[in-house]
A and B are shown apart, each in its own frame.
Chain A
Amino acid sequence: MALLRITSPHTQRTGHRTAWIMQMVILATLPGLLVQTWLFGWGTFIQVLIAIATALVCEAAVLKLRGRSIMFFLQDYSAVLTALLLALALPPSVPWWLTVTGVAFSIIVAKQLYGGLGNNPFNPAMIGYALLLVSFPVPMTQWFGAYEVTAANEVMAFTDSIKLIFTGAIEGAHAVDAYTIDAYTMATPLDAFKHKEGLMSSEAFATLPALQPANINAFFWINMAYLAGGLFLLYLRVITWHTPVALLSALAIIAGFFYIIDSSNAASSWFHLTTGAAMFGAFFIATDPVSSCTSNRGKLFYGAGIGILIYIIRTWGGYPDAIAFAVLLMNFAAPFIDYYAQPRTYGHKEAKKGLKTGGDNP
């Protein structure tokens, strides 16, 4: 009788596999995707489809080159999730090749060249986003506005979206002369606020179209959708509260501080939390386990660092939103934070710090 010889434990929690984690995160993005589609048309949805297809093809190709089992790794859904997150972050109107480039870069360079799932030091989706943002700043900063405040005064149709994404122009029934792409897009509220060109805050809110209540509300609802998804993940214990809470509160505190000092020029905490990609970044990007910190204390530092960097880049940097760069910068710091934010182990008076070897263990 050949009995199995294997180390303990002999039992495992059923169902909670890596693929399950990825699936749950994908599920949690659905409210956000729905709201984005509802408010800005089918663009985002189409981008998601393009991204996922690209990701699967790229992943399979690299796995084949690396001599790894293709199906085994495709089934962990990590490539799908990376593509999905990148597509959600892209403006709905970008041309298809832009999405393809970004996703391919994410999967091939940022993930597989570093050793595949679990070995990438940086968040792959954000690497792709940063590449696109640096290389193609114009399409990457054209966001759709809420239809009430755009010239088109309606959500772009599905066919128009497809045409826009694949041909770069709109030739639909509505688009013959009156409506070019510019009729649908405008700066995001954050962008608009950043470039208010010497206007006081109150003046900016009164005059700039991107800062009209309708547009701000649109972004508010998107953020609320991602918040809901994040709470769902917290409930499932797929993520812990440490990173998002640290990120959001750090952002709120620093924004609040500057708002109190200079309310005429700085935006409020609420504005920072609800008009950009703060919720999406806090619950879906910063919580990427591979590239973030591991200990609970480390996650607090990590999240807070991202929050502070977001505010700094938004206010004084060259880009309107800053999730990608803030996260990537903190990815650099994650291993360092890990070494200095170890938990206190049972039976030890103090937590260990750093990497000093040959320490107090005899």
Chain B
Amino acid sequence: MTAVLLAIGTLLIFALIFGGILGYASIRFHVEGDPIVDQIDALLPQTQCGQCGHPGCRPYAEAIANGEEINRCPPGGQATIQALADLLDVEALPLDSDGAEEQPKRVAIIREDECIGCTKCIQACPVDAILGAAKQMHTVIADECTGCDLCVDPCPVDCIDMEEIAVTSKTWGWELPTGVAANIIATDKTPKVEAY
């Protein structure tokens, strides 16, 4: 009987000692990490487009931190989903955002002849990229435009177009080669390679 009590007592003492060490270590060596919301926010494309259903990238980052799916950001596309999956150590899911698709980079252009100067787009722009005043023609500062689409709907005369940003010889780059080895592990889904 004493032996059992002794054993329990010893174990208790050990538990207390190690618990104390762990507790001390957690305070003494506390690492002030980046809050997870900031890390998530840093990965989002900051278009502030609201296509995820949140009013901006930061709110979406907060939502993700609280357990929302990571696949609701069309401007970021698959690359952002992958990055988020890596950060949060979850599985990368295919993009899901109610029909919105990953699109090439775009910029808003106001057809200036048709603009009636209502300032509605100015109020809608999340990054203040539209310049103009009431009853004055508006225009988009192309460099500041994130291509978020938010100004298109409010326009009463539909004079805003989203145009793809054209490739110039300065922004051009070689495409990834499409050889045999491009798809490392061929599956039933990949097309047969018979051309040789």
Contacts and interface: CB of A to CB of B under 8 A. Distances in A.
Interface residues of B, number: 14
Contact of B192 (A68, A116, A118, A119): A68
Given A7-B174, A72-B196, A67 B186 contact: yes
B21 interface: no
A256 to B, nearest CB: 44
A264 B188 CA distance: 61
A115 B185 contact: yes
B1 interface: no
A118 B186 contact: no
A69 B186 CA distance: 12
- Name A's interface SS: loop
Contacts of A119: 184-185
Interface residues of A, number: 10
A139 B188 CA distance: 40
B5 interface: no
Contacts of B180: 72
Contacts of B195: 69
A67 B185 CA distance: 11
A66 interface: yes
Given A7-B174, A118-B181, A66 B186 contact: yes
B182 interface: no
B194 interface: yes
Nearest to B174: A7
B193 interface: yes
B50 to A, nearest CB: 30
A69 B195 CA distance: 8
Contacts of A7: 174, 177
Nearest to B177: A7
Interface of B: 174, 177, 180-181, 184-186, 188, 190, 192-196
